[in-house]
């Protein structure tokens, strides 16, 4: 069991009651889903289908190609472009399960439809500050991944023998990526226990790692090289490093959804750096990823200045300013946090 102070885990009997008789279930997750968001959703969908339910996974937007191997991918409905159909399905659902996000605005316009629907609602998540909208909440920031919670919920229900290789690999992918390939401090004993169980249920861990991490296009690798050599700024006085990527940069390398994922971690991997950002001009808005090491809360930073949130050491936000103005706002803000950011070993050479 995931244990800790930060728990809002209602008795699983409430969930058992919600899924007692076969019904119509929608599973949804945050926009631009990552491996944890999509893997958790598809794993739960497959399990609930095995229990006789009619299940539809709806993603607010598209997602990276390196997730398309997940079983059930072909049946995912993308809300963007299918608004009417998605809305009808949500309105007819008996139950809507919300996975890997804590606030309904992470669903874009789908959020209002979910909020207004008469269906019962379930929240399974590990992000900070959950909205209070669910009839059953299974939430703790002590979980490394939503996939870890989905496994735990299935086990608590006593349904773990329904976990087959497809479910196990979807869940494993979520845990592997949300722990940064088992590198982050959230990689607990429980994480390894769950992974051991997923292997017992058939997960081929090397295969999943290859599909997620080693399925790059040439463009993506060249973009990585370009960003590292041309778009990385290091601010030693703040132990901070950031990338600023323009629309033209994205076009030049024919950037696809997911191609920038993980880039921010290169900035954080530099010795001495404790705060990293990836600032991208996505044309409709500037999207920012934040990462930190140690006590500096990027979730608070993002919430206070960039309309975002997330976890203490991994968060995201946005800006309506231009790329240049966003970068300059970011740099100016650092002065305010200098004390928190400066006491660190400085070795950048
Ligand atoms: P990423 O930088 O990988 O997109 O996101 C890092 C973490 O922050 C993820 O857990 C993600 O769900 C969360 N996150 C990213 N963007 C936002 C945002 O705009 N608002 C909030 N509340 N969370 C975000
Ligand atoms: Mn997650």
What would the two tokens of residue 273 be? 């750096």
How far apart CA 183 and CA 185 sit, in angstroms, is 7
Ligand 1 pocket test, pick from 310, 318, 319, 320 with the greatest ligand atom count within 8 Å of Cβ, gives 310
**Which bound ligand lies closest to the C-alpha atom of 171?**
2
Cβ neighbours of residue 302 under 8 Å, at least 6 residues apart?
Answer: 288, 290, 308, 309, 310, 315, 316, 317
Residue closest via CA to ligand 1's atom 20 equals 308
How far apart CA 248 and CA 103 sit, in angstroms, is 32
pLDDT for 349: 46
How far apart CA 196 and CA 174 sit, in angstroms, is 14
Q: Which residue has the tokens 């997960």?
A: 203
Q: How far is the CA of 309 from the centre of ligand 1 (A)?
A: 6
Helix locations, 59-215, DSSP H:
83-92, 110-116, 146-157, 165-178, 189-200, 205-213
Q: How far is the CA of 101 from the centre of ligand 1 (A)?
A: 9
Q: What domains are there in the chain, each with its CATH number?
A: 8-213 (3.90.1640.10), 218-337 (3.10.310.30)
How far apart CA 30 and CA 108 sit, in angstroms, is 8
Minimum-distance ligand 1 atom for the alpha carbon of 288: 2
pLDDT for 4: 62
Q: How far is the CA of 348 from the centre of ligand 1 (A)?
A: 28
Q: Is 309 a pocket residue for ligand 1 (Cβ < 6 Å)?
A: yes
CB 205 within 8 A of CB 212: no
Q: Is 111 a pocket residue for ligand 1 (Cβ < 6 Å)?
A: no
Please report how the helices 165-178 and 189-200 are oriented relative to each other, as an axis angle in degrees rounded to 10. Answer: 160
pLDDT for 183: 95
CB 60 within 8 A of CB 80: yes
Predicted confidence pLDDT, tens digits, the chain (349 residues)? 776 666 788 899 999 999 999 999 999 999 999 999 999 999 999 999 999 999 999 999 999 999 999 999 999 999 999 999 999 999 999 999 999 999 999 999 999 999 999 999 999 999 999 999 999 999 999 999 999 999 999 999 999 999 999 999 999 999 999 999 999 999 999 999 999 999 999 999 999 999 999 999 999 999 999 999 999 999 999 999 999 999 999 999 999 999 999 999 999 999 999 999 999 999 999 999 999 999 999 999 999 999 999 999 999 999 999 999 999 999 999 999 999 998 755 555 4
- pTM score: 0.93
């Amino acid at each position: 069991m995931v244990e800790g102070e930060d728990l809002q885990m209602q008795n699983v009997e409430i969930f058992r009651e919600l899924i007692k008789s076969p019904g119509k279930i929608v599973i949804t997750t945050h926009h631009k889903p990552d491996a944890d968001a999509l893997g958790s959703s598809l794993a739960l969908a497959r399990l609930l289908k095995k229990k006789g339910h009619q299940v539809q996974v709806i993603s607010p937007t598209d997602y990276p190609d390196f997730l398309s191997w997940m079983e059930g991918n072909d049946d995912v409905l993308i809300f963007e472009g299918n608004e009417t159909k998605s809305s009808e399905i949500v309105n007819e659902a008996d139950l809507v399960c919300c996975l890997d996000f804590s606030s309904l605005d992470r669903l874009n316009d789908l959020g209002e439809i979910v909020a207004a629907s008469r269906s019962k609602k379930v929240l399974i998540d590990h992000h900070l500050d959950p909205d209070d909208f669910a009839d059953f909440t299974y939430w703790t920031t002590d979980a490394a991944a939503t996939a870890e919670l989905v496994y735990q919920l299935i086990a608590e229900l006593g349904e773990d023998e329904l976990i087959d290789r497809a479910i196990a690999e979807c869940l494993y992918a979520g845990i592997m990526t949300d722990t940064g390939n088992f590198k982050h401090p959230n990689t607990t004993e429980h994480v390894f226990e769950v992974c051991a169980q997923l292997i017992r249920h058939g997960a081929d861990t090397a295969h999943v790692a290859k599909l997620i991490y080693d399925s790059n296009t040439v463009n993506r690798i060249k973009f990585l090289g370009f960003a590292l050599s041309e778009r990385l700024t290091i601010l030693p006085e703040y132990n901070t490093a950031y990338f600023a990527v323009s629309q033209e940069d994205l076009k030049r390398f024919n950037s696809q959804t997911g191609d920038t994922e993980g880039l921010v971690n290169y900035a954080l991997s530099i010795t001495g750096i404790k705060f990293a950002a990836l600032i991208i001009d996505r044309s409709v808005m500037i999207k920012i990823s934040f990462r930190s090491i140690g006590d500096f809360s990027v979730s608070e930073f993002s919430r206070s200045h960039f309309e975002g949130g997330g976890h203490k050491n991994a968060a995201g936000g946005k800006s309506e300013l231009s790329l240049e103005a966003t970068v300059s706002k970011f740099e100016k803000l650092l002065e305010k946090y200098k004390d928190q950011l400066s006491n660190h070993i400085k070795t950048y050479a």
